[in-house]
Amino acid sequence: MSVILFIGDGMGVPHLTWDYYANENSPFRKFPVAGLVATDPAGKSKVGESAASATALATGHKVEKGMISVDDNGERLKTVLEVANEHAKATGIVTTTSITHATPAAFVSHVLNRGMEYEIAAQICSSNVDVLMGGGLRFFEKNIVLDTNLISIMINRGYFFVSSYVQLEKTFTDTISKLLGLFAYEGLKRAELRTLTLKEMTRIAVEVLDNNPKGFFLMVEGGQIDWRGHEKDEYGFKVEMKDFTDAINWALDYQRKRNDLLIVVVGDHETGGLVLKEDSDEIGIKPIFTTNQHTASFVAIFAKGPWEEKFCGLHEIADIGKILIDVAKR
């Protein structure tokens, strides 16, 4: 059994509502199962953030803000990718941010604070993740934790390394079993400027991972939906949502070829206090951000494939992580 988990960073219910009305081919029209998720972290706060939410999704445990897959004592919490690896599955991470950023980091590393990106990169270097694509070149070229070039180490460990889409297009073959793609110094360019789309990265990741007969677990993050919310950028969130939903639509099309693939789409928290006001344009609604911060709003979850029924209803975000870990063992 295989899983593709899509995480819309900062994607609240209004974000996907806008896509539903604006896009006749919206993937949110195509899922048989939907639910809601409370994203509050451990502690008193009811407002989620990426590190705590991603840790909950990756490990099934609630932690306080900023912590990456460790408990209050700093002990490692086993992640769903580590569980999948124990069951001989291939694993991968795809993101539009740096692969050391909070959401991907929670699936592949264990640190007390999300800001420890050089340490996160060092842990990624020694991990067993098969596909890693996104930004973050600065943390690998000259890693100050290990005082070395991590890219060279990963190449020696069998990774095929690329740093541009042109290079990837020219050199990619179906014989690649481990892929490291670092396409920017930190996060990737904004969606309207990117030549390498999230859809294309997802397709390539699946092509590599699907060579494993035991199945795979792939996490795909639309990481800059959150960034555009912080900027209160109403145009920007639309193009980031399109980049994200194009990738989901590709996965849904791919799923038709097989009966052993679960696709899950979830937000990690809501960013921007987005509201949709009535408008006279052809869509009939206008998105307006009311804050540049996160909010406590529930997010939505969608599922299609084996075990889809487990995701129906209202959930705590850590409960989603527990379900994903159970699925990764199948």
Nearest to 133 by CA among 223, 2, 268, 237: 223
Active site residues: 50
Spatial distance between the Cα atoms of 106 and 59, rounded to a whole number of angstroms: 8
Spatial distance between the Cα atoms of 95 and 108, rounded to a whole number of angstroms: 13
Q: Extract the tokens encoding 225.
A: 């939906």
State the DSSP H helix or E strand holding residue 50, giving kind and residue range, or none if neither: helix 50-59
Spatial distance between the Cα atoms of 61 and 206, rounded to a whole number of angstroms: 27
- Name residue 5's beta-bridge partners: 219, 264
Q: Extract the tokens encoding 188.
A: 């990737």
CB contact at 8 A, 177 and 157? no
Estimate the crossing angle of helix 50-59 against helix 317-328, to 10 degrees: 40
Nearest to 248 by CA among 83, 45, 13, 19: 19
State the DSSP H helix or E strand holding residue 168, giving kind and residue range, or none if neither: helix 165-171
CB contact at 8 A, 114 and 102? yes
Spatial distance between the Cα atoms of 221 and 8, rounded to a whole number of angstroms: 6
DSSP label of 13: H
Spatial distance between the Cα atoms of 59 and 53, rounded to a whole number of angstroms: 10
Spatial distance between the Cα atoms of 324 and 326, rounded to a whole number of angstroms: 5
Other C-beta atoms lying within 10 Å of the C-beta of residue 167 = 13
